[in-house]
């Protein structure tokens, strides 16, 4: 399995002419997985060798602006560059509880309609992930509100046995999120490659005794 990492932004708080806000891309077998999407990420993508249209998954560590303010704009640009296709697999977006509401409201208020499907999978944080005075429970924000065009997706809770959140699993790897301590609930992401059985040349082994 081939994995390649490209840093699009390593700055904090705000972008600069020479350093973008937080964003990196993991390229895996023709697909691009984006981790964080600070302001200016799509400009950095255009300067790179990567193709934004290859983005199939997006992972957001936390809801501070320098990690998410580029996301609505990036999705809109991807939409402008795509053709309507009902059979196209959705772009999966993973992040803390509240991300679905942020995206839906940003796109709704700006009258933006995406030509491709997307899903938002929210990770429910625990209060001990940040200082008590900073913790906000977003679980009831949209309760009772009609979100007719709100994106689908799962709500993921901490697995107490693994002390992590299972996000993705296929034949080659497993992706989990784990809790970080920050000013707001934050998550790190781990990609673990599954063991690959080796191949033995039985006849050669016999010949070697």
Alpha carbon 105 to its chain centroid, in Å, reads 19
Q: Which two tokens stand for residue 166?
A: 């299972």
Choosing from 66, 85, 142, 201, which is the catalytic residue? 66
What's the chain's Rg over C-alpha atoms? 19
DSSP string, 68-109: HTTHHHHHHHHHHTS---TTSPPEEEEEETTHHHHHHHHHHH
The token duo for 93 is 């977006």
Q: Which of 7, 60, 9, 63 is nearest to 39 (CA)?
A: 9
3-state secondary structure of 25: strand
**Among candidates 121, 124, 113, which has minimal Cα distance to 82?**
113
State phi, psi for 93 to the nearest 5 degrees. -120, 125
Q: Clarify whether 170 is annotated catalytic.
A: no
Q: Which phi and psi angles does 160 have, rounded to 5°? A: -65, -30
Q: Among all residues, which ones are annotated catalytic?
A: 66
């Amino acid at each position: 399995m081939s994995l390649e990492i490209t840093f699009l932004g390593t700055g904090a708080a705000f972008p600069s002419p020479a350093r973008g806000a937080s964003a990196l891309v993991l390229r895996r077998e023709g697909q691009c997985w984006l981790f964080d999407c600070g302001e200016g990420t799509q400009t950095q993508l255009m300067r790179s060798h990567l193709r934004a249209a290859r983005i199939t998954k997006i992972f957001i560590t936390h809801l501070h602006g320098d990690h998410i303010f580029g996301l609505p704009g990036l999705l809109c640009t991807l939409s402008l560059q795509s053709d309507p296709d009902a059979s196209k697999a959705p772009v999966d977006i993973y992040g803390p509880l509240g991300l679905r509401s942020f995206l839906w409201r940003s796109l709704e208020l700006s009258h933006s309609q995406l030509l491709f499907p997307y899903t938002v999978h929210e990770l429910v944080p625990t209060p001990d992930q940040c200082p008590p005075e900073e913790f906000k429970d977003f679980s009831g924000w949209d309760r009772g509100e009609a979100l007719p065009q709100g994106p689908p997706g799962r709500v993921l809770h901490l697995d107490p046995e693994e002390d992590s959140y299972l996000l993705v699993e296929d034949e080659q790897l497993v992706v989990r999120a784990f809790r970080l301590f920050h000013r707001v609930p934050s998550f790190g992401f781990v990609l673990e490659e599954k063991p690959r059985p080796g191949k033995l040349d039985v006849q050669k082994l016999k010949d070697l005794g």
